[in-house]
Amino acid sequence: MSQSKVTKILLDANVLYPAPIRDLLLNIACQGYYYPQWSGDIHREWSTNLLKNRPDIKPRQLERTILLMNEVFPGANVRNYKKLIAQLDLPDSNDRHVLAAAIKSDSKYIITFNTKDFPSKELDKYEITCKHPDDYILNVGMSDFEVLKEATELQLSALINPKISLSQLIDNFNRCGLEKSADFLLRSLSEIV
């Protein structure tokens, strides 16, 4: 998939941290709906926090995940954005690297749970919109249900150790903060099955 032909979207660390959300967003991207963007700083943030909170996960597992993400989406790893950081004004200065990477990559959206940390008065200067992952995924389902359906099916087929059911996957989405999307998938997929 060529990244220049689809909308670029920067994924913040907090949407890469939970595997169910990360995998769903990446499976949507695999359908050509958008092209994901991230940075080394974003990868370090989510993987460091995950290792801190989940001692059962080994660093090499996350290193492999990051390597595969970068291989599947060449050009997604944004570089040379740090010089932009100083000029940005956000409520939490620790989030400036996220906006800087979005600007550098010409991303149209930042997907994050921390929408309040990215006020539109600052993002509007760069024609970037901040979206909550639940709102973004729900919008994907409502605008192109086949993309969301296929992404969900891909994710379900990849979860083989242990294998889980569709209802368990939807429950995982719900627990991760995708309540509206989980409800939409539950209603939409039950009508098909």
The pLDDT, as a whole number, for residue 29 is: 97
Per domain, the residue ranges of the chain are 1-193
Q: Is 143 exposed, middle or buried (0-12, 13-18, 19+ CB in 10 A)?
A: exposed
Backbone angles phi, psi at 144, to 5 degrees: -150, 80
Helix (H, G, I), strand (E, B), or coil: what is residue 165? coil
Report whether 89 contacts 123 (CB < 8 A): no
Q: For 86-108, how does the pLDDT look when each residue is reduced to its tens digit (9 = 90+)?
A: 999 999 999 999 999 999 999 99
In CATH, the number for domain 1-193 is 3.40.50.1010
Report whether 99 contacts 91 (CB < 8 A): no
The pLDDT, as a whole number, for residue 193 is: 44
The pLDDT, as a whole number, for residue 162 is: 82
Contacts of 8 (CB under 8 A, 6+ apart): 34, 35, 36, 37, 105, 106, 107, 108
From CA 63, how far away is CA 181, in angstroms rounded?
Answer: 29
What is the token pair recorded at 30? Answer: 């695999």
How far are the Cα atoms of 33, 65, 117, 125, 137 from residue 171, in angstroms, in the given order? 24, 23, 28, 38, 15
How does pLDDT run along the chain (193 residues), one tens digit per residue?
544 578 999 999 999 999 999 999 999 999 999 999 999 999 999 999 999 999 999 999 999 999 999 999 999 999 999 999 999 999 999 999 999 999 999 999 999 999 999 999 999 999 999 999 999 999 999 999 999 999 999 999 988 878 888 899 999 999 999 999 999 999 998 764 4
Listed in order, strand segments (DSSP E) in the chain are 8-11, 35-39, 77-78, 109-111, 129-131
The pLDDT, as a whole number, for residue 153 is: 92
Backbone angles phi, psi at 76, to 5 degrees: -75, -25
- What DSSP element (H or E) covers 25? helix 19-30
